[in-house]
Chain A
């Protein structure tokens, strides 16, 4: 049911524009005092969050608010507050509000604080723009906006001090260093996500060329565009191109390598952008397209390939990243790999949504998005505080911190167990739903997808506990002992503690109300599909015992295996053990060699190419052209010179110089650039004649 509540349509507009305005005001607020600067920026996020909450009432009553204004070229700008958007919008708004509060304490005294507030608020606004926009093009604006903020915030510490780097300094793969400066990491993220964005833009273009509209409601209500695209064989490519944008933004294989290195940014940024919100934009995009694509796949079965790709990428990425998290020694990098892995779960669910369980798949993805946003943001916030406290990003410099910061330990444990998927925390319910959805009606494909989810769950449980063990339990490391002597380890201040308290309690609350929560998100999804779906009629799967038991046992096995190794006594992963397990460890430690491979292929050749271009093209070709032209011209002119030097030159030079420089004219024989310009015009004219003749002959 669409409600044109024009009186209330300003709310979605305000939800995304207020933080943008807040960001733009940051430099002005900064002039009015430090407290106003910090809390003023937070206030904008809070108002936006409150307005987002007020939209929940529409979603709960199954209403959708859709408001449009004319933009250009027949395209309309608009907001679409349907249940899906409202749900994600609330997640974004509240998580970002808590992180903004945390930032007040965490970024205290940072010299770039104004820039920080500007980009944070600007980011929130653009993220809400993605969520609330009613068409693909406007969504792309927000998409690029968050990309820009991500780039700027990863490189926030652009001065590149050694302690802000990411990666182990002595780690080399194929002679390539695996530690990156914040600027480098920012550029890496920018370029890798841009690769996806180019694909996405191309996809949007294609759809626009055929549909002449990009509004989601128009795309779903009239599908002649899909028919036309299908007949020219472009339907599947267009969706796959859009998927390219999604996997770039959400750091899925093969564009996943930027996210672990994006951890060079401030931890609050990692929490907000690289865990809770921006990287979910890809998930959101697929969820937006899923009902349309699913309905179309009934008419055009080729689209099942699209969903299959989504599911395969998700399942594989989940396993790939989780395996790397097992061996990582940096606290934030564990969390980053884990983020990639958990987003893989969401892609798995979305892929399954189009294959067999539309409602269940989207519900699973959205539920996991919600619970992951909470526990992962919380984990990052605690991690940020710990890294700050022990002055090192390596878990080998931690250990035994429990007695110094008991509250942080408790919260970290709860959040980590939620990540591990232990009942009754929120992560359990959402992960279980995804695993059961991915099984679908069974069959080989379902079993494969489910197995990737289950094995990942096992790994997730293991690395979660390993992470807790290495940081809080076990023997204190030398670094911690040193800090203990100085008596500098203490519990976090209030502005830092409250946000992760709130997020941990949230994950418990959602966990306790798990089935209830699942039902309400399912209701949201249903409303959304009914609103946007093209009369899709896709069978849902009934719950079965297999997924539940296998995922639960995977979690327990994972926890049990990891416990003796890491929780009861501290142990680092280095140096490597020998034999097969050592080789495996090294393989994972070297990020499956994918990162190094990308550098070999895409990064290293460039300086060489540039050098070669400089050497051969610049030096040889252009210089020689000059020389050849010069020789040709002097050759021609020499014939003339002998004829008219004495006669005409004498008169000519007499005008400015009294005839004394006639010899000068002949002697000066170096190529001046002004001459080249004249040649170029003449040669240009001749080449136009040649070119047009060639084209003419070719056309004939």
Chain B
């Protein structure tokens, strides 16, 4: 490891931070507009002119200027540290997300496994925030969040195993590379219908992982005010918010990379080959990856404003009695299929 490597690593992290800030700005605005249109309202219309596009930027500036309130009864060091842990775990998991053929922080040989591991550290940050706030609503939110995140990690891991077994690699670029050449080669359509079941289970379980409706019990505005970040204000609150929207894109990005062809276009004539122009090849790849991610992000928001929230026991029922048996049977059948067709 040389100093140049260190410089490249710092540049990667800065790029990721810039990307997730832009994604969060766009996603918060679309969230407002989509919720408004589903409610038959207009949403922000004034700030910036065209359909209030600058509303989130104005809000961010407002949050930057706000006083950073730390409650007297809080455990101060933990309270201050928690948002940093949540945000840095999120940034660290973006490092292995393949935005293009060469647009990847580092193509680890255990890529997807690293991602699952590092994003599980987020739970510690959320629990820290919930406990350190010394507020019963925050603690309830933190506990609910932790319990649902560790429960839903199991169906997520099992459904991610399906593309991993089919491709035979944990590296993100290998997983994307196996889906080249048109949408019928994408992960969802291989070993029909089992990879598709895995994709559906992954998508639903990932909603619980990022605390979105119908699994948004950790925030549950009508019961817990705002959940684990109820006591946070100003910049620290903005960091939780940034991490939440970045995580929404992260789970969508993993679904895109493993099931929906990653940075490959739906038809191969819509791509520019790496031989003719490497830079353009990467940019077009980035376009496809980001737009597929945004489509999944839109579905997440659509579901949020359409479905009601589940109860805690219903949530656990969905995880342990529906997703888990389906995933186990899925893994068994696909591994049997692979063993039979290989020999």
Task: Decide if A and B are genuine partners.
Answer: no
Residues of B within 8 A of A (CB): none
